[in-house]
Amino acid sequence: MKSKKLKYNCLKCPGYCCSYDRIEVTKKDIGRLANHFGQSEAEVKKKHLKKYKHDDNGVLVKEIILKHKKDHIYTSVCKFLNRKSRSCTIYTARPSVCREYPDSSKCGYYEFLKFERKQQEDKEFVPTL
Ligand code: SF4
Ligand code: SF4
């Protein structure tokens, strides 16, 4: 099957998708992280993950998500984003949701980033939402 040509370049983006508050991890992701760090799943959960609960139209949804850290661009980002290089420090072990995103040949934020950089005539400009 012919692969889709991607119309975004993560190397030119400061990692907006890594600033999402809720980056959910699955059981399989936890196993992959445990292998990557040579830690038990319990250690991975304690050190890198946190529980998140929310009400979705009367249904209590429980998730396990990646911990965050402070960031000078987006206020906070996933703890695994290198704040200087803006790249993922656990790329081969990143959760499935990170592998799949944006699940399209286009990334909405990248379109916005390109538009704003053109408007500002500044290739480095980073707009925040
Ligand atoms: S927001 Fe889009 S362009 Fe930026 S790092 Fe994420 S997928 Fe790549
Ligand atoms: S694990 Fe990597 S790709 Fe996923 S949100 Fe964190 S830094 Fe971004």
88 touches ligand 2 (CB under 6 Å): yes
Do the domain assignments include residue 99? yes
Mean pLDDT of 51-68: 95
Question: Which structural domain, as residue segments, surrounds residue 59?
Answer: 20-103
pLDDT tens, residue by residue, 81-119: 999 999 999 999 999 999 999 999 999 999 999 999 999
Ligand approaching nearest to the C-alpha of 15:
1
Confidence class for position 12, pLDDT limits 50, 70, 90: very high
On whether residue 46 sits in a domain, the answer given is yes
Of residues 60, 58, 80, the one with CA closest to residue 69: 80
Residue 116 lies in a domain: no
Residue 95 lies in a domain: yes
Q: How far is the CA of 72 from the centre of ligand 2 (A)?
A: 17
In the chain, the number of structural domains is 1
Cα-to-centroid distance, 99 and ligand 2 (Å): 9
Domain annotation covers residue 114: no
- Of the pLDDT bands very low, low, confident and very high (cuts 50, 70, 90), residue 48 is very high
DSSP the chain: -PPPPP---GGGS--GGGG-S--B--HHHHHHHHHHHT--HHHHHHHHEEEEEEEETTEEEEEEEE-EEEETTTEEEETTB-TTT--BTTGGG--HHHHHTT-SS--HHHHHHHHHHHHHT-TT-----
Mean pLDDT score of the chain, rounded to an integer? 95
Q: Does the pLDDT value for residue 26 go beyond 90? A: yes
Higher pLDDT, 1 or 89: 89
Does any domain span residue 14?
Answer: no
Reported pTM? 0.92
> Among all ligands shown, which has an atom nearest to the Cα of 78?
2
Percentage of the chain lying above the pLDDT 70 cut: 97
